[in-house]
Amino acid sequence: MALKRKKPFIVLLAFFIILTPFFIVFFQRPPALVVTDASFVALYGTGRLKQQTLVASLTMKRRVRPVLIADGAGTDVLLLGIEGTSSRPHCVLFPSRYIEAAEQYREQFPHIPVIIMEGRNTRTSGTGTSNFLVCRTDRETDSYRAGLCAGIIAGEEPQRIIVFQDRSANARERNAFIRGLREQGLETPPVFYNNASQLTDTKDLSCVVLLGSGAEILEKNLKVPVILCTWLDPDLTSNEIVLIFDDSPWTMAVPALGLVKIEQNEDFNGRIPSKPLVFSARIADNHISQNLKKAVEKPYEKTEERQ
């Protein structure tokens, strides 16, 4: 009886002994910081941000902390916020809209790695970007996986597949999408548009894919499945959206932090695929849902011509 009463205590003691070294290292290591403003939190979701903070911290085995700032905060305020969060961080991640603050921080603390996080439709224009590790959305891989998924949704008797891309999209991205469709057995080419006003007929559609533009089309209350590239809180999206590709700074923080170690590697290109999320509850056919989950994880092998 005495042994039985002691057993839970022995188990807890064993867990404590095993985990103690992890927590000592975890809290002793300098944190990684991610600059995060109020408007982002409002759209991304407070609960979702807390979850990503925990996941990133456990994955990186160090604290990953947000530097919360008000919208429109000046560079001086932002830099004070960073120093107030940690005076000697492992590295600092800046969304590309804060490129000027990143440049000043790099000048003040040249020994601390600075990462610029570009979104799908942004390109850094700072003068000192060669001093940074710039991480960009791997739009080509996203396009390929979106093509795979559009093919799965369209099925064996596809109708029109509409794809909206911003004007910076290139032939490699369009070809990657078509390649994904063809791997699903669809030979009919999709129709590519740059903005929602170009689509006047919403009948006979199999799927609509929004790769960086065309979000206004959602106001037309489409009754077909939609694939959307966004970091918007999933709870704020409509039921027509069955799959999102999330390329927010927080979702991409873990792979970006992992790239700090290989920054000088000659094979480094700083491109990170978005994190996909399939809404199974919005898909009536469970077989389609399962196939989508497999497709969004499929590696994209780029040929040398595409690189």
- The mean pLDDT of 132-138, rounded to a whole number, is 88
Round the average pLDDT of the chain to a whole number and report it. Answer: 86
pLDDT > 60? residue 52: yes
Q: What is the pLDDT of residue 15?
A: 55
Better-scored residue on pLDDT, 257 or 146: 146
Q: Tell me the C-alpha distance between 271 and 14, whole Å.
A: 42
- The mean pLDDT of 61-88, rounded to a whole number, is 94
**What residues does CATH 3.40.50.2300 cover in the chain?**
31-137, 139-246+274-295
Q: What is the pLDDT of residue 142?
A: 96
Q: Any idea which architecture 31-137 has in CATH?
A: 3-Layer(aba) Sandwich (3.40)
Three-state SS for 34-92 is EEEEHHHHHHHCHHHHHHHHHHHHHHHCCCEEEEEECCCCCHHHHHHHHHHHCCCCCEE
DSSP letter (8 states) at residue 196: G
DSSP letter (8 states) at residue 168: T
Question: How far, CA to CA in Å, does 245 sit from each of 133, 137, 138, 211?
Answer: 23, 10, 11, 9
- Binned at pLDDT 50, 70 and 90, residue 22 comes out as low
- Binned at pLDDT 50, 70 and 90, residue 253 comes out as very high
pLDDT > 90? residue 1: no
DSSP letter (8 states) at residue 274: P
Return the minimum-mean-pLDDT range out of 3-12, 138-147, 253-262: 3-12
pLDDT > 60? residue 306: no
- Binned at pLDDT 50, 70 and 90, residue 270 comes out as confident
Q: Assign domain 139-246+274-295 to a CATH class.
A: alpha beta
Better-scored residue on pLDDT, 265 or 222: 222
pLDDT > 80? residue 67: yes
pLDDT (tens digit, 9 = 90+) per residue, 86-104? 999 999 999 999 999 999 9
Q: How far is CA 138 from the centre of its chain?
A: 10
pLDDT > 50? residue 13: yes
pLDDT > 60? residue 127: no
- Binned at pLDDT 50, 70 and 90, residue 28 comes out as confident
- The mean pLDDT of 278-300, rounded to a whole number, is 95
Backbone angles phi, psi at 247, to 5 degrees: -120, 35
- Binned at pLDDT 50, 70 and 90, residue 266 comes out as very low
Up-side HSE of residue 287: CA atoms within 13 Å toward CB?
2
Q: Tell me the C-alpha distance between 133 and 116, whole Å.
A: 6
CA dihedral 188, 154, 193, 121 (to 10 degrees): -120
Q: What is the pLDDT of residue 120?
A: 76
- Binned at pLDDT 50, 70 and 90, residue 63 comes out as very high
Q: What pTM value is reported for the model?
A: 0.86
Cβ-contact 53, 33 below 8 angstroms: no
Residue matched to tokens 């559009």? 150
Sequence-distant (≥ 6) Cβ neighbours of residue 136 within 8 angstroms: 118, 270, 271, 272
Of 210, 189, 224, 216, the C-alpha closest to 274 is 210
Q: What is the pLDDT of residue 188?
A: 86
Q: Tell me the C-alpha distance between 168 and 147, whole Å.
A: 18
pLDDT (tens digit, 9 = 90+) per residue, 202-245? 888 999 999 988 889 988 888 899 999 999 999 999 999 999 99
Better-scored residue on pLDDT, 181 or 306: 181
Q: Tell me the C-alpha distance between 84 and 104, whole Å.
A: 16
